[in-house]
């Protein structure tokens, strides 16, 4: 972990951080509010002290209480990867500024987060579904998403037929099939 990098982040963004700066192994994590995304991302990219020119990933997260957008950035100025979490997006109408002004490739990542979580990226010129049909009404990776058969199934009702273990047809009679983690 790069302690000098941590000090630079705290000095530059201390008033914009919404939680403690964390470091573990080769990753540093900062949390910011959704309204600070444009300013913080621009500074991380443009300022020579940071130089985060590579967006490795962008993902949506549903904690069950709030929505988040997580950015994974890389720079040659530090051995640490940087995880920037835009925290505290409303579950009812999650919105955050797009980062396509900085990285054109973010368009596809933002579309995926929109399609799976319903997060609207303000400024993305092509925000539409990428996996699900255009008329699909739900967001499959949200905590409140249920499959049609889940609503009628109580927690103790067991497993669906596709989840049961079966001995393969061509297995010897003495073969035992175990579930993963069992």
Q: What SS3 string covers the chain? A: CCHHHHHHHHHHHCCCECCCCEEECCEEEEEECHHHHHHHHHHHHHCCCCCCCEEEEEEEEECCCCEEEEEEEECCCCCCEEEEEEEEECCCCCEEECCCCCCCCHHHHHHHHHHHHCCEEECCCCCCCCCCCCCCCCCCCCCCCCCCCCCCCCCCCCCCHHHCCCCCCCCCCCCCCCCCCC
Q: Give the CATH architecture of domain 3-154.
A: 2-Layer Sandwich (3.30)
pLDDT digits (tens, 9 = 90+) for 97-125: 999 999 999 999 999 999 999 999 999 99
Is the pLDDT reported for residue 20 higher than 70? yes
Residue 163 has a pLDDT of 47
pLDDT band at 168 (very low <50, low <70, confident <90, very high): low
The mean pLDDT value for 166-181 works out to 60
Q: If we measure between CA atoms, which residue out of 2, 10, 50, 8 comes closest to residue 27? A: 2
pTM over 0.85: no
pLDDT digits (tens, 9 = 90+) for 68-98: 999 999 999 998 999 999 999 999 999 999 9
Residue 154 has phi, psi (to 5 degrees) of -80, 160
Alpha-carbon span 163 to 86, nearest angstrom? 36
The mean pLDDT value for 10-25 works out to 90
């Amino acid at each position: 972990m790069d302690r000098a990098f941590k000090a630079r982040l705290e000095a530059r963004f201390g008033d914009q951080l919404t939680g403690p700066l964390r470091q573990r192994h080769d990753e540093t994590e900062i949390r910011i509010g959704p309204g600070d995304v444009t300013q913080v991302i621009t500074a991380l990219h443009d300022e020579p002290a940071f130089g985060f020119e590579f967006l490795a990933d962008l993902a949506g997260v549903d904690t069950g209480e709030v929505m988040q957008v997580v950015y994974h950035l890389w720079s040659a100025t530090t051995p640490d990867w940087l995880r920037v979490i835009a925290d505290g997006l409303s579950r009812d109408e999650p919105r955050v500024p797009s980062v396509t002004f900085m990285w054109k490739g973010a368009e596809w990542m933002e579309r995926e987060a929109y399609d799976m979580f319903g997060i609207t990226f303000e400024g993305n010129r092509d925000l539409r579904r990428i996996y699900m049909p255009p008329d699909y009404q739900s967001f499959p990776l949200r905590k409140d998403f249920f499959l049609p058969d889940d609503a009628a199934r109580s927690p103790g009702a067991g497993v669906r037929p596709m989840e049961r273990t079966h001995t393969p047809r061509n297995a010897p009679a003495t073969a035992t099939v175990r579930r993963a983690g069992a």
